[in-house]
Structure 1
Amino acid sequence: MDTEPHTHPRSNTARRSRIAILSRGDAAARHDATAQNSRFVRVFEALDASGIEAIPVVYDETFADLVRNQLLTMDGVLVWVDPIHQGKTRAALDPLLREVAAKGPMKRPWVSAHPDVILKMGVKDVLYRTRHLGWGADTHRYASVEAFRAEFPSRLCTVGPRVLKQNRGNGGQGVWKVEAVPGTDAAVRVLHALRGSRPEEMPLDAFMARCEPYFGWGGCIIDQTFQPRLPEGMIRCYVSGSKVAGFGHQLIKALIPPPPEGPDSPEAQPGPRIMHGPDAAQFQRLRRLMEDEWIPRMMETLTIDEASLPVIWDADFLYGPRDTDGADTYVLCEINASSCFAIPDEAPAAIARTVSERIGRNVESGG
């Protein structure tokens, strides 16, 4: 194991700090991985410009021991691995990352995002735990199959269309719009957020049975009221640490019934995500809310200190009802902390600044 002293990346002493950029792939991808052929090439470049050596590390369960040994030689790890990818989960990776964070070469090693932080803010349960913040909506949590079956039917019938979300997932997996079918006895119309899905009508009991496996993987199901302004698009607010690093706006098609041409038609595909820097005028109110109110209150609610916030994460917002002055409100629909990508052009530099600050803290504390 490397025993050289760890220094601030901008100092002129022994060596540059070494950061792993971890992503999922097979043995061939691991063998061929370079900074130049990585989709994170701009992040590699920004870290290098800040005096930090970044190393591409490819992970798979079949060679996890090799990855563990490699990570234990690093000063930090930036992780880009989805909760679910081609049927694989993070069930083996997360314990490995916890071990690395506990046994790394520095006195205060860090992994971003740390699995324990993801379990606080990068799961759908955050929507329930922070529902009292200004980004909250009518949100409920079902902690068991029994609670789900007892409470959901009456809520659906009395409140209107709902959106159910499994606790851990990505790409629309396990996210459903559910509405009662008028004039029927306990029938529902459901639409999966997974791309290419079509609306289905079925007995409510059958749909609830379909959702029961979600309790085994994520431990709960989150239930939010459907936001009728969904067709106006989703705003993705990118954050590095506690500071906004940019925005993306996209006309999404998830949970919107496909046109007659079908879910594979061009008309059914989401629009491009238009990226903006942190100073984009149309999003300054949202930026102020995030930096001045919502992020600090989220940290307090979830007991996360600033040094533990992910180096890069994003919060997805839908437009809520306009307020009495006609201004937009925003409803949080998800926080992504496991694998936040693609990112605005301004984000790599923000990542490098945050990484430098984290390394500097470790040096000052004697790491």
Structure 2
Amino acid sequence: MAKAQSPDMAPKVAIVWRGDAQARRDATPETSRQKAVFEALARQGVAAEPCVFCEELAHEVREQLLRMDGVLVWVDPISGGLRRDVLDEILRAVAAAGVVVSTHPDLVLKMGVKEVLYATRELGWGADTHLYASRAAFEAEFPGRLDASGPRVLKQNRGNGGIGVWKVESLDAWMVRVQEGRGDVEPRVLPLRAFLYECRTYFDGGGKLIDQAFQPRLPEGMIRCYMSEGRVVGFGRQIIRGLMPADAGPPGPRIMSGPDHPPFQALRAKMEGDWTPAMARLLGIDALPVIWDADFLYGPRDAAGEDTYVLCEINVSSVFPIPDEAPDELARTMARRLARHVGSKPERAADSPAQTG
């Protein structure tokens, strides 16, 4: 257990989530959905305070974060049609001033975007995966790939909640059936040319599309592997609705379990001993996020009849809900990171590189 220390000596951390001006005024640790994280940080001798972000109060948020030793962020890439570009610039500024930021926007762009599926496709968790960096490449290459290999899943590079994730099936030389992964969106049948045109906006501002083979075992559910740095801190398994037929029924609850849950020990061993270290080396990551997760679908069984796993997404922006075991683990990770981050803030800003993770 962490040593007790006076409030003035305790390292200070802000927990950031999106809201409006009223939510910012009313925010308390006790009423936050991150209540367990506030409590876990307190047990580690870390003083945490809420920081509700909205674009209209960007200056006020920036000033608050500059007073902190660390920042933990729970803000989706897209929420209510708003992207987090303004927040990302604030986080870059406070990290440059010496504040520990998890997860730093530059690290999000390394591992929290769909392009990571293409970059890490050879690590053992990959599938038949391709990347389209331009609209021209997409329109030239995707139709032939769809015709040759069966149903595909397209994913915009940065998004959440199934937004911009499409299952595409060829019906004949001209027509396709498409279904977006968000909510209860129903499939549509339309000309392939029309669908290609609809996708043009995904390339705005340097955007990309990632293309994976559809996984037939999708009805068996998705396994979310929760991580703190390189350690598994829990699992969540869920029967999902996205990309499923209209008669598949509603999604099931996410069943949470701790890191020692027996059915997922092979996946845990792969994540801790192989895939996560290999990803960090490949992407040049020195410090993994304090909290992140990797979503897996079941791949084809191997020759021995054992399950394989296919990575479908990594989440680093807003990882919630989390297993009961996770808050204490991420609090310990944050406390260790803060303990390594010695010196006053002016000295850090002058003498140390930005702290990320």
**TM-score of the two chains, using structure 2 as the length reference:** 0.94
SS in 2 for 1:363: coil
- C-alpha separation between the residues in 1 aligned to 2:190 and 2:206? 24
Matches within 5 A, 1:41-80: 41-80=35-74
User: SS where residue 253 of structure 1 aligns?
Assistant: coil
8 Å CA contact retained: 1:166, 1:218: no
**In the alignment, is residue 133 of structure 1 matched against residue 123 of structure 2?**
yes
Q: Any conservation in 1 of the 2:5–2:45 contact (CA below 8 Å)?
A: no
Q: Which residue of 2 aligns with 1:289?
A: 270
Q: Could you say what the CA RMSD is over the residues aligned between the two structures, in angstroms?
A: 1.5
Range with bigger deviation, 27-36 or 13-22: 13-22
Q: Which secondary structure does the structure 2 equivalent of 1:19 belong to?
A: strand
**Separation in structure 2 between the aligned mates of residue 48 and residue 240 of structure 1, nearest angstrom:** 18
For the pair 1:177 / 2:171, whether they are aligned, the reply is no
1:116-153: CA deviation from partner (whole Å, max 9, x where unpaired): 00000000000000001010000000000000001000
The one-letter code of the counterpart of 1:161 is: P
> C-alpha offsets along residues 180-207 of structure 1, whole Å, 9 cap, x if unaligned?
00xx331100011011111111000100
Cα pair 1:43 1:349 within 8 Å, conserved: yes
Task: Read off the aligned partner of 1:242 and give its amino acid letter.
Answer: G
| Letter in structure 1 aligned against 2:255 | I
Task: Give the corresponding residue for 1:350.
Answer: 329
Q: Distance in 2 between matches of 1:100 and 1:358?
A: 16
Asked whether the equivalents of residues 167 and 218 of structure 1 are also in contact (C-alpha less than 8 Å), the reply is no
Question: Quick one: distance in 1 between partners of 2:249 and 2:290?
Answer: 34
**What code does the residue aligned with 2:242 have?**
A
Task: Please give the alpha-carbon distance, in whole angstroms, between the structure 2 residues aligned to 1:32 and 1:11.
Answer: 28
Shift of 1:217: 5.0
- Partner of 2:212, secondary structure, is strand
The aligned counterpart of 1:361 is 340
The normalised TM-score by structure 1 is: 0.91
Q: Give deviations 1:6-55, integer Å, cap 9, x for gaps.
A: xxx74747610000000000000000000001000000000001111001
For 2:200, give the aligned amino acid: E
> Quick one: which of 166, 170, 175 aligns to 1:187?
175
Kindly provide the amino acid, as one letter, of the partner of residue 98 in structure 1.
R
Instruction: Please give the alpha-carbon distance, in whole angstroms, between the structure 1 residues aligned to 2:33 and 2:338.
Output: 24
Match of 2:18 in 1: 24
- State the one-letter code of the partner of 1:328: D
d(CA) in 2 for partners of 1:32 and 1:122?
30
User: 154, 159, 173: which is aligned to 2:149?
Assistant: 159
Q: Which amino acid aligns with 1:330?
A: Y
**CA separation in 2, counterparts of 1:349 and 1:185?**
54
Quote how far apart the aligned CAs of 1:363 are.
2.4
- Specify every segment of 5 or more residues in structure 2 that has no aligned partner in the other structure, as ranges: 349-357
Task: Please say if residues 314 and 337 of structure 1, whose CA atoms lie closer than 8 Å, have aligned partners that are also in contact.
Answer: yes
User: How far does residue 364 in structure 1 lie from its aligned partner after superposition?
Assistant: 8.3
Unaligned runs of at least 5 residues, structure 1? 1-8, 260-266
Q: Does 1:330 align with 2:324?
A: no
The more displaced of 145-154 and 218-227 is: 218-227
In the TM superposition, residue 268 of structure 1 has moved relative to its aligned partner by: 2.6
Are residues 1:225 and 2:213 paired?
A: yes
Match of 2:229 in 1: 241
